[in-house]
Structure 1
Amino acid sequence: MKVTGRAAVAIVALVFAATQSWLTRFKRTKTDAKSLHIAIESNACAFLSRPPPAAPLRHRRLVRDPLSPEEVNGEAAALRQEQRRTAERLSSSGADPAQLRAFPKGSSDGACVNGADPDSKATSGTWAGMAEAAVVMVTFDRADYLGCALQDLLAVRARFPNAGELYPAFVSQDGDAAGVQAVVRRHLDRVRYLEHAPDRPIRAPSAREKVAYYRIAQHYKFLLKTLFDCFGFPRVIVVEDDMRFAPDFFAYFDALAPVLDEDSSLLCASAWNDNGMPGLVSEPTAVERSDFFPGLGWMTTRSVWRGLRGRWPAGYWDDWLRTPEVRQGRQCLRPEVARTSNFGRAGSSEGQYFDAYIAPIQRAAVEVNWGGVDLEYLVKDAYEARMQSKIAAGKVVESLDDALAALPEEAGAGGFIVAYEGQEEYSVLARRLKILPEFKGDAPRVAYAGIVMLRTPYGAPLLLVPRSRLAY
């Protein structure tokens, strides 16, 4: 094809303009790699939080880091240098931990990473009298997951007044995967870093068991010991590196903290509802008591921790917390509409239950004014009286299908009640509703005294109730 002189000039101009644009972007990338990576983390969140595919994926590098391996290692080395500087400051001057960012390595049974007395009852440093709770994100080696979850958590925290002082953020890593350390280094202006480094090898009791569950249990013991015993926080909120957060996540926990402090029959407050699928929940201000420890974004107090720390298990810490011997009749608070969602298909459990029961849980999209919500009904005796009234006012139906097909006006004041007896009958109902049918310890998931609270497709309350409770 013949190119005229005028066309040649136009082509040269276009090439020149494109080259200048590329050079500008290149220079910006070189001078603002942190901003670039954070933007990529935002895109990663959209990718990681997408609906589950038809076929499960194995975890590889789901989101490619824009930094080269050399740059990632350089960021990790910078974080480790910060840990060394912190150790020197702590040993030479007893520096205020609140002014430090990356703490030395520690272990579940070792000394405090800040050199503090673990039995001190005072909050450490300038956190004293100010911090409501430490919020800690638990991570291992999923750098792409961490980048997404951490950025989301910090964005939600920024919505809450004075959240940086009231809710100091930590990332606690098991091990020293460089990719994770590079992510932390880029956010070190807004988070603090803890590193769990066992002082002896952790092994599973048998070859059939995964050592990961034993490392996880010791990691949790380390971070809870560090934040409660060494730093002296009154409460700790534990989240994970595969979560996203509702806009009122911090306001929700802020509202529940006084209830948790004042009621010794409570073990924790959680942001998660195992049955929080669309169509089974609707009321964003509703909070319930549960005999089942939900996890997946939860808060507990220093007094609860001090009753647990001396008998913390070697492995399977969450199932241990659900046993009657450990719960001792205590319960957790949980929302009707979850305040966290989870995108962690890849992990130590290898996606068990993920596509069917975890990915469908939707976090709240609305921001509740929790200061205007009366939560006095959550106190133990008041809640039990309220539940008895609900059952007495409810309409018992012959089958679950009758309740699901009925209109809300056909329900009693307490909603529809479907009776069951034992785990086998409950499992039939649960499978029909597409919720997890299993019991843990002596309780179905989310149950209060065996009662599981849901909604019908038309929004009416639906209670699955043990037959023994219908004697009222």
Structure 2
Amino acid sequence: MRFSTFLLSIILFTNCLVFALSVNRTLCLLFTHLSVASDYPSAWLAEEVPNVHVRFSFCCRLWTGKYTMNLLRFVSLRHIFFITIIWLLALILFYRLHESVSIDYGKELPKMLNKIIKLEKEISEQNKEAGRLLERLDNDKFAQKWFIFSNSTDYTAHPDDRDAPLSIGDKIPVLVMACNRPAAIRVHLNQLLLLRPSPELFPIIVSQDCDHQPTSQVIDTYRDSITVIKQPNQTEPILSKKLKKFAGYYKIARHYRWALNQIFFNMKYKTVIVTEDDLQIAVDFFEFFLATYKLLIADSSLYCISAWNDNGQEVMIEDRPDLLYRTDFFPELSPKWPNGFWDDWIRDPPQRRGRSCIRPEISRTAMSLYGKSGVSKGLFYEKHLKSIKLNTKFVRFTAMNLTYLLKENYEKLFSSQVNQAPVVSLNAIQAGLWTGKSVRILYRNAKEFVDIAKIIGLMDDMKAGVPRTAFRGVVPVYYYKTRVFISPVGEWKNYDDN
């Protein structure tokens, strides 16, 4: 750009110089002609009339013509010189300014770009933060107005329902089980407090075992936002030599029993959400429990709502965060308690009594890295737990009609879906012949189910004869972009706990 500008300036200057020289040449020729023409009458007149006056006039005209021509030549040259000087000064000034601006612009450009990028990031972050705040405000407004009518059969949220006041029985406390992981409890509490839509509707109660001082110090920093209780019995459980290696599981069972007694009998709550310090929670964690709580109260065939899908690895779930199921496999807790291994005990038929739980297609909880350092020493973490997908899309469950999950509705709906699905082979599914459709794979006994589960990648263990996520013996899974129902042969009657 500088070269082209310089070249253009030289051309303009040259044109002006040529024009000035041409004008000068023309004027000189013109006045030369005039001077010569004026001399002839004077000469003729001098010969005919030898008069001093006439000769004097001739000399004056002759001198005047020559002087005028010389003067014009001088003036033209002076103008050319003046124009040349002006052009040179203008060019020098122009290039000085242009160079100065170019240098400053070159130096400032990276700074300006960095400022623009930084400003864009700040605006983006502010927009995200504003979105989060608006969502929290919206959730808070919605949650604070929520009320549950026990006799209602319509589970869609109505304005009249949400305007009713809350009582102690309508609050849903969150019981956080903690022991000796200070970093884990800090991260978990931060998540709960960030996503909680209403402190009044979802009070947080942290129950600590182990009497671990670093963990206690972290928990104490949240006392303005939570309630803290501590399990008082820190004695070692009395166990046989064979069971001593399982002492940690007995301590956990003791802690759960004590904490749940505090919730239900001392604090008089009707229900509770139980979490542990090594869990991550989804963005709609509270929305999920708020909506399904009414089902739990209304349907006596339900005894828990679980945020967890045992087979919730990303490769085995459909991208349907709104999808919920009933399951006969119990993944959570109960008011009655054993001395140890409560999670296995609670799945036994005497405790389950034919009841079901509700669970999501995509888990609303996931195991954090802190889960590797638990009592199980990370036994299932690397193999299974770390691959469970946590939902990232907010679903407005409280605005949905969830009556399809009631027992009388769900059994008909689920049986119809399963029975209408054609029976196919695993090879056909893996070949992509049934993509986007629903199919069945049949098994005749526990061994065949385990074989199928291992090929697909499901958890293949059973508790009291119930496969994980099963409902009436059927395990739904999303495999090769196909909805697959792993179903028992014939009509299902009951589980064989042997």
> Which category of TM-score, normalised to the shorter sequence, fits these structures?
0.5 to 0.7
- Aligned residues of 1:174 and 1:219 also touching (Cα < 8 A): yes
**What's the C-alpha RMSD, in Å, of the aligned pairs?**
2.0
**2:237 is aligned with 1:202:** yes
Q: What is the correspondence of 1:14-93 to structure 2 with a 5 Å cutoff? A: none
Q: Is 1:250 equivalent to 2:295 in the alignment? A: no
Query: Within the alignment, does 1:373 sit opposite 2:400 as a pair?
Result: yes
Q: How many angstroms does 1:253 deviate by?
A: 0.2
Q: What is the match of residue 292 of structure 1?
A: 329
Q: Give the whole-Å Cα distance in 1 for the aligned partners of 2:416 and 2:167.
A: 43
- Give, in whole Å, the separation in 2 of the partners of 1:155 and 1:271: 18
CA distance in 2, matches of 1:151, 1:408: 44
**Structure 2, unaligned stretches of length 5 or more?**
1-164, 494-498
Match of 1:37 in 2: none
Q: 1:351 to 1:260 in 2, by over 3 A?
A: same
User: How many residues are treated as equivalent by the alignment?
Assistant: 325
> Do the aligned partners of residues 457 and 222 (structure 1) sit closer, same or farther apart at CA in structure 2, a change above 3 Å counting?
same
Q: Write the distance in 1 (CA, Å) between the matches of 2:468 and 2:264.
A: 28
Q: Quickly say closer, same or farther: Cα 1:407–1:264, change in 2 above 3 A.
A: same
Residues 190-248 of structure 1: CA deviation (Å, up to 9, x unaligned): 11111012175422344344111111111101111001110011110000010001000
Deviations 1:296-324 (A, max 9, x none): xxxx7xxxx5xx43xx2111111111111
Residue pairs, 1:74-153, within 5 angstroms: 128-129=167-168, 131-153=170-192
**2:449 maps to what in 1?**
426
Pairs within 5 Å for 1:433-472:
433-458=456-481, 460-469=482-491
State the distance in 2 between where 1:234 and 1:435 align: 35
Query: Equivalents in 2 of 1:224, 1:254: separation in Å?
Result: 20
Residue 408 of structure 1 deviates from its aligned partner by: 5.0
Residue 356 of structure 1 aligns with which residue?
A: 383
Distance in 1 between residues matched to 2:269 and 2:212, nearest whole Å: 27
1:321 aligns with 2:350: no
The one-letter amino acid of 1:426's match is F
Structure 1 gap segments, 5+ residues each: 1-125
For 2:467, give the aligned amino acid: P
Q: Deviations over 1:108-133 (max 9, x none)?
A: xxxxxxxxxxxxxxxxxx98447521
1:234 counterpart residue number:
270
* C-alpha separation in 2, matches of 1:130 and 1:225: 16
Deviation at 1:395, TM superposition (A): 1.5
Q: Which runs of 4+ in 1 moved over 6 A?
A: none
- The 8 Å contact of residues 169 and 269 in structure 2, kept in 1 or not, is answered as no
Amino acid at match of 1:172: S
What amino acid sits opposite 1:319 in the alignment? Answer: D
Q: Is the 8 A contact 1:246 1:364 kept in 2?
A: yes
Provide the C-alpha distance between the structure 1 equivalents of 2:303 and 2:455, rounded to a whole number of angstroms.
31
Instruction: Deviation per CA, 1:329-375: give whole Å up to 9, x if none.
Output: 01111001100000211111111111111100011000001123221
Cα distance in 2 between the residues matched to 1:286 and 1:232 = 32
Specify whether residues 404 and 204 from structure 1 end up closer, same or farther in structure 2 by C-alpha distance, changes over 3 A only.
farther
| In structure 2, C-alpha distance between the alignment counterparts of 1:372 and 1:461, rounded to whole Å | 26
Amino acid at match of 1:191: I
TM-score (norm 1): 0.66
**Residue 211 (structure 1) aligned with residue 234 (structure 2):** no
TM-score (norm 2): 0.62
Instruction: Tell me, in whole angstroms, the C-alpha distance in 1 between the residues paired with 2:412 and 2:447.
Output: 28
Q: 2:423 aligns with which of 375, 381, 396?
A: 396
Supply the distance in 2 between the matched residues of 1:177 and 1:441 (Cα, whole angstroms). 36
Give the whole-Å Cα distance in 2 for the aligned partners of 1:212 and 1:184. 22
Are the counterparts in 1 of residues 203 and 226 from structure 2 also a CA contact under 8 Å?
yes
Q: Deviations over 1:383-403 (max 9, x none)?
A: 111121012210110x22322
Higher relative contact order (CA 8 A, sep 6+): 1
CA gap of 1:199–1:277, structure 2 versus 1, over 3 A, is closer
Partner Cα distance (1:182, 1:407) in 2: 58
Aligned to 2:315: 279
1:180 aligns with 215
Q: Distance in 1 between matches of 2:434 and 2:402?
A: 25
Match of 1:405 among 423, 431, 439: 431
In structure 1, C-alpha distance between the alignment counterparts of 2:242 and 2:436, rounded to whole Å: 56
2:208–2:230 contact (8 Å) kept in structure 1: yes
Equivalent position amino acid for 2:338 in 1: P
Partners of 1:420 and 1:467 within 8 A in 2: yes
202-211 or 430-439, which deviates more = 202-211
For 1:365, the aligned partner's letter is T
Pair 1:403–1:361, CA change in 2 (3 A): same
CA contact (8 A) 1:269 1:334 kept: yes
Change (3 A) 1:206 1:386: farther
**Aligned-partner SS, 1:356:** coil
For the residue of structure 2 that corresponds to 1:395, the secondary structure is: coil
- Structure 1 distance, partners of 2:435, 2:381, is 35
Q: CA deviation at 1:470?
A: 8.1
SS in 2 for 1:229: helix
